[in-house]
Amino acid sequence: MASQDWFDKDFYKTLGVSKDVTDAELKKTYRKLARKYHPDSNPGDDAAESKFKEISEAYSVLSDKEQREEYDQIRAMGSGARFSAGGQGAGGFEDVFSRFGQGGGQRFQAAGGFEDIFSMFNQGGGGFGSGRFGEPSGGYRGYGGPTKGADVTARTTLDFLTAVRGETISLQGEDGTPFKVKIPAGVADGQKVRLRGRGRPSPDGGERGDIVVSVTVRPHPVFTRDGLNLRVTVPVTFSEAALGATIEVPTLGGDPVRLRVAPGTPSGRVLRVKGRGVESKKGTGDLLAEVQVAVPSHLDDAARDALRRFQELEPEENPRADLMAKARG
């Protein structure tokens, strides 16, 4: 970066921070802006790429303690100054850099060149283009520090019980080497598990990428997930629902539990069993047993006659009356 830029560019304004910004706040702000304008997030957007370069350039200077001090000094002492190609007159090289103790009026001839000028700031350390005087290195096209390696995606299919309880499974890397993956308890169908530092290496010395494992969970013939709760549909007979009963309800991978069905229980009522759902770091869910009244499909003559007698004794009320009233609005 040419030294003229340090006069013309306000790096604090570019990042939207104050001049007394702390290192932590500066880093947090840069990361937020970098994510927003990174070319990978804005493919084909030249304006975003240009903005990304600007914020990376600004951060590379302000995040380096020595460069930030030099930048602040030049901005403070050289306000309004400009460089001239021949170094003549007010506004030449000597007008600004002589303030750093190199002697008023000293001119820099071709024998000295840029390297001699910038070595005043580095004390002989590398000169212009070394990376110390505002030139960033690494990262996307040389901006913003080392880049993280690419992520690698993988897929695995688990049975329902394994997904609920969690398990360590084996996967195979891109190079064919097997490795272990701990699947946390309570992982859901479609969820992604990120393995830090197991992806591809960085092209410029940064941290490795990750492996992102997409999990598919096979459906269970009885249970379904509802967050951390497990749901199961439990059939009951008409007489059990009408008169009340104590029934057995299955649990996932454990002994059944006994539940009381109150007299007059309708289809769709949910009975809750505390703490028999999914156990995870986020908590423990419940078992939700939804009652479904089973209608007999085969009746013998005696049962049919009994139902007819019951029908004659049923209360004269229409169970669909409320439904029809709501439908009419």
| CATH number for the domain running over 224-322 | 2.60.260.20
| CATH number for the domain running over 4-122 | 1.10.287.110
Q: Which of 6-15, 62-71, 116-125 has the lowest mean pLDDT?
A: 116-125
Q: What is the pLDDT of residues 120-142, one digit of tens each?
A: 334 433 333 334 334 444 444 44
Q: What is the pLDDT of residues 36-62, one digit of tens each?
A: 888 777 877 888 888 888 888 888 888
Show the CA angle centred on residue 167, arms to residues 162 and 171, nearest 5°. 105
Task: Assign 15 to helix, strand or coil.
Answer: helix
Report the chain's terminal Cα–Cα distance, integer Å. Answer: 73
Instruction: Extract the tokens encoding 95.
Output: 């007008």
How does strand 211-217 pair with strand 152-158? parallel
**Structural domain boundaries in the chain:** 4-122, 152-217, 224-322
| Of 102 and 167, more confident | 167
Q: What is the pLDDT of residues 87-114, one digit of tens each?
A: 444 444 444 444 444 443 333 333 334 4
Predicted pLDDT at 138:
47
- pTM for the complete prediction? 0.52
Q: What is the pLDDT of residues 250-294, one digit of tens each?
A: 999 889 999 999 999 999 999 999 999 999 888 999 999 999 999
- Averaged pLDDT, 141-169: 83
CATH class of domain segment(s) 152-217: mainly beta
Same fold, 152-217 and 224-322: yes
> In angstroms, rounded to a whole number, what is the distance separating the alpha carbons of residues 242 and 307?
13
User: What would the DSSP string read from start to end of 126-137?
Assistant: S-TTSSSSS---
Query: What is the band of 174 on the pLDDT scale with cuts at 50, 70, 90?
Result: low
Predicted pLDDT at 227:
92
Task: Assign 8 to helix, strand or coil.
Answer: helix
Query: What is the band of 65 on the pLDDT scale with cuts at 50, 70, 90?
Result: confident
